[in-house]
A and B are shown apart, each in its own frame.
Chain A
């Protein structure tokens, strides 16, 4: 039999699971879209894989790679459905997780809420140990105390997953590792996340937050990856799945699930940006582009320079207020920098207290959806305005799978917006379309200015359900000269999985004033990391 030349990619989203099959030898690409199965996301994935293999008559043995992106970890946090998680902290520091940085993300909101700690106070316990920042052991670990503490957490509090984060553990992990070993010995099946392994970076709040999110999602991710791999094996594909990470690289799914599931938290959106970067490299002589992904609830913008998306090392998940920075759990991970704006096809138009027309960030989402879907939506959305303006064909939506109700869209715009403003339906429809575009443009300009990027010679790559509809207006307002709506714009994240390189993130702390830095030591540390990160 000849060498297998097929590759598969799966993108598990909230509503749909997209599957893409590519034959690298012949350069052929096939898509499948199946409904996601939130109770067990691996079921939807495997259904999609089986469907596309059968449809294309591809033997499972001809597949040499299955890459995939999933919202399993993010959804666990957003929906509060992660594991019952406990924390072991240094004496005097169990409240760091809940105290955070003591700052407010909104200075006028007297009803401000902070994200609830994923390990509540009763499941945060302290052990007497202390290592100084320069590695002196002030208080040795009391192994008997560790045993008692772990037993209390598991037997009295019923935790399923344990986070261990001790002060200065980023540089001196001995006590953390010993604590983990004791916990493992007592309870071999307990899921354990250790701060120095998840995120070896200074700043105890951000590190404990990262470690606790890791612990919180780990059992779920492991179950999911286990089922997916078992299913793939049963189908007859010879390989284990690989996983898209937040920074746009690919890792082995079992390795990610075992060691740092927190790094896949932004898996899906990262895959979209990677697809856009891939298209930019293929389509442009100078691959500088804005990746513009507009869906039902949000638009996501990322800047691609020289064929690579920008990375950030500050990330948040589980926002109390979706678009307010500081209202979520901070994560010390590297992630593709995505600007998220509360502007999507489902964003609702309304007249605010000042008598001004506003759009979003409230969204009708997929259910009930825009009024024109006829599924119970009552308030006019961006999609309704797009339909009234003629950007959408009422008789040929979703490839003809759905018809749209123009009259209902007009009625909703008339009632909620046109009447209070004493304007015509067409005028307010244009207003809604223009305002949502302007808010995306303003955010993009500000983001570009912060990054010091002159966008005028950039191209725009548009994807996502509503992306191509709004891309022309956006490109025009931004003064861009090239707009690319790629083939497979609806399954861009899955395509991105196929374009992503294998990658691993390593961190080594090294502290010195810049003026007296030992650059040889820095260079040696870097070489060592480079060596340990290279494929065996």
Chain B
């Protein structure tokens, strides 16, 4: 008896898997085209802002979605030029996070493959920070990429206001730390997530990874591995934008250095000036704050922390969805009892 793929081919009398592959890709393409056809034809534009490091002006994402029949294009013309900070994203990365946003809203249940991309084009002008030319620093591409999802949602919401969630507390944040743990050198990174935006289906989830999917590190494991102590890791009450469905809460993390020797810590701050925006009358989520020993700081340069120093990170909650007046009374009471609002 033949086994595996040869057994399958023999059973169905197929020469190879090419026709089978074409069929699978074709089915997904058909489903994606049908989903695009359900969007009214037109041009939908939105501007999304990102905190920058080296100037006082924000980076601008200009997103233009053009829907014609069963095809859709996303163009980032008019976005900021590439910059000298690492806040640049190569086109492949920009495209991936943009098409991801489309997939989530348009066809989340259809098997994902090349067929989903056939009716979609994603472009960004060369030399922009969403399609930079060599040489450009791209270390913080993840931060930029996460905002691409927000930018596409913000434009798509003009076409599909009842299907597109509010902005989430993107991007993912991390403490990158290194130094000495007693006589042993250490280097580690730990991650934190803000709140999910309010959705047509309900409140945003608090402290949930989106659009990436990165878990936290258990405090009990971290404290064994690095000379730090987590003093607080809690939901941040009131951080979710109000709405019929409020944004998920962001979180507050307080961490103390317990090492006798200095620890170098980097954190890319974002959302110090531009909160996650609400949708359909929902309020914006909260702004981010970073404090070192009680003093507010920006996170563009590494910190050199010594024993007893405490760094606090307050991550934004998501934007709200729909007008707060429409919120169900029982949800208001529940938030009150749970001290979430």
Contact = CB atoms under 8 A, between A and B. Distances in A.
Given A121-B338, A121-B340, A167 B27 contact: no
B105 A102 contact: no
A26 to B, nearest CB: 44
Given A93-B233, A479-B1, A203 B220 contact: yes
Given A99-B233, A103-B214, A353 B1 contact: no
A102 B208 contact: yes
A122 B218 contact: no
Contact of B108 (A93, A110, A203): A110
Interface stretch (A13-21, A111-119, A228-236): A111-119
A99 B235 contact: yes
A196 to B, nearest CB: 12
B199 A111 contact: yes
Given A102-B208, A202-B220, 13 more contacts: A92-B233, A95-B234, A98-B206, A99-B206, A99-B251, A104-B210, A112-B205, A120-B337, A203-B218, A203-B220, A353-B110, A354-B27, A354-B30
A94 B213 contact: no
Given A112-B205, A121-B338, A479-B1, A355 B216 contact: no
Interface stretch (B73-81, B224-232, B268-276, B299-307): B224-232
Q: Among A107, A170, A202, which residue has the most Cβ atoms of chain B within 10 A?
A: A107
Contacts of A519: none
A92 B199 contact: no
Interface of B: 1, 3, 27-28, 30-31, 103-105, 108-110, 112, 165, 191-193, 199-202, 205-210, 213-216, 218-221, 223-224, 229-235, 251, 254, 337-340
B338 A204 contact: no
B220 A170 contact: yes
Nearest to B111: A354
A96 interface: yes
A92 B30 CA distance: 50
For chain A, the bracket of interface size reads 35 or more
B337 A122 contact: yes
Contacts of A99: 206-207, 216, 233, 235, 251
A20 to B, nearest CB: 39
Nearest to A101: B215
Nearest to B224: A133
Nearest to A91: B232
Interface in A114-142: 114, 120-122, 132-133
Interface of A: 91-96, 98-99, 101-104, 107-114, 120-122, 132-133, 167-168, 170, 202-205, 353-356, 479, 511
A112 B248 CA distance: 12
A110 B105 contact: yes
30 contacts: A92-B230, A93-B233, A94-B234, A95-B207, A95-B251, A98-B206, A99-B233, A99-B251, A101-B215, A103-B213, A104-B209, A108-B103, A108-B109, A109-B104, A109-B108, A110-B105, A111-B199, A111-B202, A114-B205, A121-B337, A122-B337, A122-B338, A132-B223, A133-B224, A202-B218, A202-B220, A203-B218, A203-B221, A354-B31, A479-B3
B290 to A, nearest CB: 18
Nearest to A107: B213
Nearest to B254: A92
Contacts of A356: 27
Contacts of B233: 92-93, 95-96, 99
